[in-house]
DNA sequence: CACGCGTGGCA
DNA sequence: TTGCCAAGCGT
């Protein structure tokens, strides 16, 4: 049977921390951002790690810190260059907030990285988890860093049935961890996450090699596969979309996404929701407002793209236009920036995966 | 405060 | 194929 109350027992927590640290020092992965305690590098890696698997972020991390080795380099870079380095990683507001925070540190903190939790979480993009991670790892502050791994590990360790999507449950687990933090807060926090990533995994946890097996309540009760409890999120809404690719002698017409909402600020092909009774009409009519002489297009394929909260079923229309139309090539698409981009120019702008994968249809 | 916000891996 | 999940944050 599971428990719906989370109790803290000091001695149990002490042994838990001891086991964890011993395991972590022996079993931790060699990750690039573990080669330093520089708060800047820790920060970049932690922002990239939000909702992202470590293996995915590693090449991005290398490229990013090479291009922007310190806060000043990032603060003084143009935003489009920052977004370009984030291209394909998703959740692009992370990159924008990273850039904003770098400017704040550069201008208001004299380039000196804030060295404690309370100051860190005031920066855009740094919330309770990331603030705790940077403060504990780079500055040895005794604060928790509660991510999805930690919620799962602590839930199982205590055979605790609280719904980890519930803020009250998150707070209870945060309090438990805060009291359990030993003298090496950074290693402890990293160890908790590493245990969740390598051993106490969401499915098929490797209890046989777990350093906490002997004192894990869920293991004792045979509940590891039922925990944690997590309420479900609702399903993505499906949208039928029409994409227009205009090709002018190899240069493609790109538009910048609006300032708010999905993929905001990044580049895309013109795209609009289909009018159900008239397939192809919506994109064609929209494009004709900027290209009155638009020739007939053809469908070159379909593409499905799954976002966090919506699914696009895209029908891709292809239009070839004469280079003489370059003279009238509009730099505005509605209110948005727009331009024909040749291969080299295309490579310089941030084109999200939803659109870059359409290039394979050409 | 429930929801908006990307992408890739995996049973 | 489908759904779930991954080192969350802003509003």
Residue A327 confidence (pLDDT) above 70:
no
pLDDT tens-digit series, residues A217-261: 999 999 999 999 998 777 899 999 999 999 999 999 999 999 999
Higher pLDDT, A326 or A146: A146
Q: What is the pLDDT of residue A284?
A: 96
Q: What pLDDT score does A204 carry?
A: 93
Which nucleotides on strand B sit less than 7 A from a protein beta carbon?
1-9, 11
User: What are the tens digits of pLDDT across the range A77-127?
Assistant: 999 999 999 999 999 999 999 999 999 999 999 999 999 999 999 999 999
Residue nearest to nucleotide C8 (CA to C1'): A50
Cβ-contact A98, A82 below 8 angstroms: yes
3-state secondary structure of A312: strand
- What lies within 8 Å, CB to CB, of A53 at 6+ separation is none
Please name the nucleotide lying closest to A46, CA to C1'.
C7
Mean pLDDT, rounded, for A28-44: 97
Handedness of CA A185, A192, A28, A90 (dihedral sign): negative
For chain A, domains (ranges, CATH) are: 10-221 (1.10.340.30), 237-361 (3.90.79.10)
Q: Are A101 and A122 in contact (CB under 8 A)?
A: no
What residues approach strand C to within 7 A at the CB? A 31, 45-46, 49-54, 91, 93, 97, 123-131, 133, 147-149, 152, 190, 193-194, 196-197, 202, 230, 232-233, 235, 306, 308
> Dihedrals φ, ψ of A46, to 5°?
-70, -35
Residue closest to sugar C1' of B3 by CA: A309
| DSSP character at residue A275 | -
Which residues is A175 bridged to in the sheet? Answer: none
Ordered DSSP codes for A138-152: HH--------HHHHH
Q: Is the pLDDT of residue A164 over 60?
A: yes
Supply A359's token pair. 């290039």
Confidence of residue A326 (pLDDT cuts 50, 70, 90): low
Residue A126 is classified by DSSP as: -
Measured CA A315 to C1' C7 distance, in angstroms: 36
Mean pLDDT, to the nearest integer, of A11-28?
A: 97
Structure tokens at A53: 């698997």
> In the structure, what pLDDT confidence band is assigned to residue A331 with cuts at 50, 70 and 90?
confident
Find residues whose C-beta atom lies within 7 angstroms of strand B.
A 51-53, 55-56, 88-93, 167, 203-204, 234, 260-264, 305-310, 352-354
Written as six digits, the tokens of A180 are: 């359990």
- What's the angle, vertex CA A21, arms to CA A177 and CA A9, rounded to 5? 40
CB atoms within 10 A of CB A132: 30
Which DSSP state fits A229?
B
Eight-state DSSP code of residue A204: S
B/e letters for A311-321, b = 16+ CB within 10 Å, e = fewer, are ebebbbbbbeb
Evaluate the omega torsion of the peptide bond into residue A228 and state whether it is cis, within 30 degrees of 0. Answer: yes
d(CA A176, CA A16): 12
């Amino acid at each position: 049977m599971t428990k719906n109350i989370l109790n803290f027992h000091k001695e149990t927590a002490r042994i838990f921390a001891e086991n964890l640290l011993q395991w972590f020092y022996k079993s931790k992965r060699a990750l690039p951002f573990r080669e330093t305690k520089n708060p800047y590098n820790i920060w970049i890696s932690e922002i990239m790690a939000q909702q992202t698997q470590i293996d995915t972020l590693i090449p991005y991390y290398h490229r990013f810190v090479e291009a922007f080795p310190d806060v000043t380099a990032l603060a003084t870079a143009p935003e489009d260059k920052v977004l370009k380095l984030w291209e394909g990683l998703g959740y692009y507001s992370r990159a924008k907030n990273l850039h904003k925070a770098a400017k704040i540190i550069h201008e208001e903190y004299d380039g000196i990285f804030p060295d404690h939790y309370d100051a860190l979480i005031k920066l855009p993009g740094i919330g309770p988890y990331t603030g705790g991670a940077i403060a504990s790892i780079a500055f040895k502050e005794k604060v928790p860093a509660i991510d999805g791994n930690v919620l799962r590990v602590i839930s199982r360790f205590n055979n605790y049935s609280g719904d980890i999507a519930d803020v009250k449950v998150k707070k209870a687990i945060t309090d438990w961890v805060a009291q359990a933090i030993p003298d090496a807060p950074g290693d402890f926090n990293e160890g908790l996450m590493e245990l969740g990533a390598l051993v106490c995994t969401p499915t098929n946890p490797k209890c046989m090699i777990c350093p906490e097996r002997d004192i894990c309540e869920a293991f004792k009760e045979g509940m590891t596969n039922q925990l944690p409890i997590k309420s479900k999120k609702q399903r993505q809404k499906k949208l039928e979309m029409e994409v227009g690719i205009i090709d002018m002698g190899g240069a493609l017409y790109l538009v910048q996404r609006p300032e708010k909402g999905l993929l905001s600020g990044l580049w895309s092909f013109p795209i609009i929701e289909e009018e159900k009774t008239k397939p192809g009409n919506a994109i064609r009519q929209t494009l004709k407002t900027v290209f009155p002489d638009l020739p007939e297009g053809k469908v070159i394929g379909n593409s499905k793209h799954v976002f966090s909260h919506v699914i696009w079923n895209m029908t891709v229309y292809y239009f070839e236009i004469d280079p003489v139309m370059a003279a009238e090539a509009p730099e505005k698409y509605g209110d948005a920036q727009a331009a024909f981009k040749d291969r080299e120019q295309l490579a310089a702008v941030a084109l999200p995966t939803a659109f870059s994968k359409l290039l394979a249809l050409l």
